[in-house]
Structure 1
Amino acid sequence: MKCIGRYILLLMAMFSFAFCANIPEKVSVQLQWKHQFEFAGFYAAKEKGFYKEVGLDVDLIEFDGGSNTIDRVLSGDVTFGATYSTLIYRYLKGDPLVLLANFFKQSPLVLVTQKQFKLPSDLKGKKVMVSDTTVNDAKLLMMFKKFDMNESDFIAVPPSFDLQDFIDKKVDAMTVFVTNETYQLDKKGVAYNVLDPSAYGVRFYDLNLFTSQKELREHPQRVAAFRNATIKGWKYALKHKDEIIRLILDKYNTQYKDYASLKYEADQIKNMILPKFYPMGSIDPKRVKEIAHTFISLGILPPSTSLNLDKFIYNTVPDDIGLSAEESNYLNTKNVITYCADPDWLPLSAIVDKRHIGMDADYLSIISGRIGRPFHLVLTKSWNESLRFAREGKCDVLTLAMVTPKRKEYLLFTNPLLNIPLVLVTGIDKGFYTNLMELSDKKIGIVKGYAYIELFRKIYPDIKLTEVESVTKGMRMVAEGKLFGFIDNLTTAGYLVQKEYVGTLKISAKFDENLVLGYGVQKSQPQLRSILDKTIATIDEETKQAIASRWTSIKIENGISHAVLLKILLVVLLVVLIIYYRYRKMSTEKNALEAISMIDSLTELFNRRKIDRLIDSEVKRIRTKGCFSLILIDIDNFKNINDSYGHDVGDIVLKHIAQILKSSVRKKDSAGRWGGEEFLIVCPDTSKEEAAKFAERIRIAIENESFEKILKVTASVGVAEYNRENIGDTSLIRRLDKALYDSKRDGKNRVTVAL
């Protein structure tokens, strides 16, 4: 009997252990606001069983209007929290916090103003409803600082969280989220303007998932499981927005929202997360430091504040880029990766105010997010110094470097990241060179230390190469006549020509040689080279194009007048050039070179410079006979599209419009991007009556076009005819501008013909 009893007790113990082992661990999450689509990833992870799969029973706690999320996590009242960039301030003040993941790559917090206020400076002396703490309003205060304003320049009104106060004009401006409140204002037909700090370069993270250092220390597996399940939930939520919206309506709708408002919020939040460009939940240490510098700049934190983020940013080695055990072990022992870059090579790379910017910096940001390790810039004053530092082992990585025999002595090179043609820049008065032997005895500049110096000296021994310290200095010497020309890659040369030397310098020749760029890694770190190779392979062409577009297009921000816009030549280079033409006839290459400076790379229409030439040609032609008409098209409310949906969506709209124009114009017509959101069509031998009908067809086509995320886009149009009788009456563009202005004034979305 005793044996049987013991056996029964053993069975009961085993059953009890198995039962307990399957009981999920209870954890809680304090949300930063009330239930809405802003927390869709958490709902998806809970309701689709992602938390349960990793052994967690998660309680989602909505904001009660009074408690402090960070304090609740630190006190142990809740396990995890989701909050604003205030988290960074609290950590730098000494609170033991850990940032586990970031979901919103830009904050949806903006100021809405009454219609008459268009710039931050317009709010001097006005009533502005903001939060009750300086830290919470740091993003807005930094925007005001760019207009030489501080919080004493406006009347701060404590928050009521009631949009009706703005509608009733009790305040001149108030903070809102573009994911929610702007929808309500639009629905009620309230006129307003949006002042978005991100449009002025102030970019804050939002919806930051965090916990305490104590929780991470005592329950590292639980933290990792919760983080991974939440990221999985967000990926699911964005792919199944309609399902999650209905889930919120059914189980989490404490704010009594309707389907339409949640759908609007969902679309806006996707623009905040930018899943095509950033891995879900990724953290860029450079962005975190930029936010920290904002707190310091505003005096919220002292200048002496240490920006050591080692204990703040959660270290995780990703498993989605195929790392080997050896590579993962390497990352586990590598807290930070140091790198040297070219300090003067925009748009590829530059160091400004001790910060790395350019396409190179964007690529490193993506790589950092995907391998879970920060990159630390080693400051240098020239490319030659960067080379020397890499040779001396002062940096782990030399970025955007070309392979040479000398460099291979101390560096391992990754697969190429960029492949860019090399070109010659000369004065505008020089010709186009198809036979490079014509450059014999010419004094040509090239940056000291660049890989292709030796190559050029072998291939073109008669060209007098002069080494200069930087691209900026080389271009300036050409403009001043001290050099005949300057050799560099197409992307950099074109960027500087269009940014600083329009009408002074031009691209006059293309070489057969290309600049092939990758990363050089110290020979002692072969694992890092293979990690970078695997990560580079995950960067798709769409992401590469987005990075190129960001640095080779000009953004028009709030407050720039039409007079200024008409003076700016929005000319952008083709980043990818005509490699397939390299064996064609020299005459074909010459035509291709001339085309470089005539095409807008975003829309692939003619640019302002080309359109100006076409107009000049028409003016000369009609002095003897005939006429021509111009059609000027301006997208209505385009600033609101950029403010509400982001510049990426704005670019999509511009591309759509360009396609409509390409498919609509006749063979004899020429369409181009005139500036910002304006397009111009040159119509030879066309009367104003014909042009007006043509313009109306285009207006209707734009109105009927389906645009991603945007319900409707319209355009206002001005038309003007020019002939021998009226060509000398007044400025060509002034008459056309007046017609466009009349269309705007009379309600937009219409065609007006100049008298």
Structure 2
Amino acid sequence: MKSIFFKLTIILLLINTLFANSRIRENNENVILQLQWKNQFQFAGYYIAKEKGFYKDYKINVTIKQREYGQNVVNEVLNKKAHFATGRSSLIIDRVDGKKVVLLASIFQSSPDILIALKNSNIKNLQDLKNKRVMITGNAKNDIVLKSMLFSKKIQDKDIIVQKHTFDLADLVYGNTDVMASYISNEPFILKNKYHLESKIFDPKDYGFDFYSDILFTHEDFVKKNPMLVKKFKQASLKGWEYAFENINETVNIIYEKYNTQNKSKKALLYEAKELKKLAFYNTKKLGEIKKEKVEKIYNFYKLMGEVNKEIDYDKFIFKSNALQLNSTQLQYLENKKRLKLCIDPNWLPFEKFDKNKKHVGLTKDYYDMFSKKLKIDIKPVYTNSWNQTLEFIKEKKCDILSLAMQTKKREEYLNFTSSYVTVPLVLATKINIPFVDNLMQIKNKKVGIVSGYAFEETLKNHYKDIEFVSIKNIKDGLKKVAEEKIFGVISSIADISFEIRNNYTNELKITAKLDEKLEMAIGLRKDEPILKDIFQKLLDNLNPKFITDIQNKYFSSQVEKYKDYTLFWQTTIFFLFIITIILYWSYKLKIEKTRNEEILKELKATQNELKIKNKRLKFLARVDKLTGVYNRTKLDEVLEKEINRSKRFKRDFSIMLIDIDDFKNINDTYGHLVGDKILIALADLLKIHTRNVDTVGRWGGEEFLIICPETDKLGAVKLAKYLQVKINEFTFEENLKITVSIGLSMFKEDTSDTILKKADIALYDVKENGKNSIEFMDDLPKD
């Protein structure tokens, strides 16, 4: 039984290695993709390519990084902190400035950048923007598409009041600006769904400015070193985008669960998806399309606006997936050469051979036909009658190329080599009655044939000194001698040996052992013309994965032999039946046990879920005021500390306001505490409705409320406080009561939580002392 098991293991091992090792080698690559903004549907295709395994299909491991505040995405690629990134059409300016960025694909054919105003404003057309306040980024490169639109209507910077962009739509809502640069996929939705306001949109593409946007790009050096990786990354990414747009609901769910750092609602993500899909296929059916003509058109806009003054080499700037990107020297060399001469092994199927009509056939024929087409040059095989003659011809420069050969020190004297592009294991073939061999040391003093001139001949002779190696003309000659028992066996690649056994020696010979050594074969190119090596290395780097797969299937997948050794067949069958019986018995027992375990796990999972829900609820209740439903003091303290730390680090403004209901004790005394509670609840709701999503509203205690307002200076805080006071005064509360409030304000100035609260508290006290129903702001604490 032990002997049978050993034989079976060897067979399975040989079959496995045929498929595993005869493939052209591809290593997993780790790359970083830098996004130009925070996670949202804008980058859906990349998330999908990762989540659905499209990158893994191409042997790529991808880390996706969202943009941090102050981060320059282009510099991340230029400084080689990221391999790929997404950017705007302003990459044209970067290229003109000498930055070696390369465009791979434009996900959006037209920019999502728009100018947005309130529909109920007095701005109806672009001419109405004159003398209006306009919030734009201030970065000429980023604003160019919007400025081009304005310029087309003769509106220049001097005609508008340019404001620094706060990226806070509330500034448009509360009148801090008249017009804001926005994304068509975001701000119109927020304006309608949060503020219940309609928008007036000025879209550059309506004025003829359909700039590319969200362009996938990389570094020119990275393209030169890794053209195949760049090509595969682009292909996998576009596959992700195709899936994302075809399965929007599923994609939204994935982003909502795993990539929702902005806490967007599903409704917002769906809106974004539908708008961006329109832009992705704007005037095209080809996803990711990037045309030289359109890039030139955008360049001309930049030139007109005075942003560029140098020309661009578009062949270097725009990545060509199917092009070799040969330089001028290489192209000139091929033009002068007119024809390349190829030397092959004349009798080495399935790799290569000259047939009876002296025509080149086999695996390398397919490769060199493709190479010839790519290079647009005739590659003509030179006839030889043996491998040794082939080597002589290449030494004598009768050939320019050696199709398939191992790199050795001796050959390096007269050849340059590319990287290996075909790797297959070496095996030993013997008569069919010879037992399987797991170590060549077991066949001491046996005669084993190797094709004369093969690179591994010397290696094997040095490694296995107790074996008598003899030279053979070719594999066919060697296997014939094995069949006639003139030699014990032949060593060569699994591909050519199994090919010959299948066609000529099915019942006589077999593969008896697999060696640790492998054939790693490259292209050899004449030493005196080194430019050839660069050209053919580019050809290999640019190989299409589908072409490689087709070659493998055509020449290798059919090579597994089916020997008619019926004794072994029956022994193997009995062995497997025995194993299957044991497996079925244990499967039955495991199934019963699994059912029991699944029931227990189901109960445990239900209990865990119940505990999670309760814990979540407890955590929520611990931070929420039970009566009003807004945050309690514990949560307010936490948010306040967080805002203080953020303001210290990023030098950003924030303000707070303490709101106290005037004469609340009288209301409780007159109408009872139940009415007082209803007024507190209604006031909390009013404060939540009329503040921003980023503001934190909480009950400070009793009838006092605290609002924390990020990115808000004194002017903004006073404006919001007055706005809230008006809304509260207009509202009719329980028992048809009208109430007023007093509000104390303060702004962060290197304060502690105690000092900023104390300033607001003193301001509130002053309001109470001076008649109530008013607002007071305190800049600094009074000196003792």
Question: How would you bin the TM-score normalised by the shorter chain?
Answer: 0.3 to 0.5
Q: TM-score, normalised by structure 2?
A: 0.38
Q: TM-score, normalised by structure 1?
A: 0.40
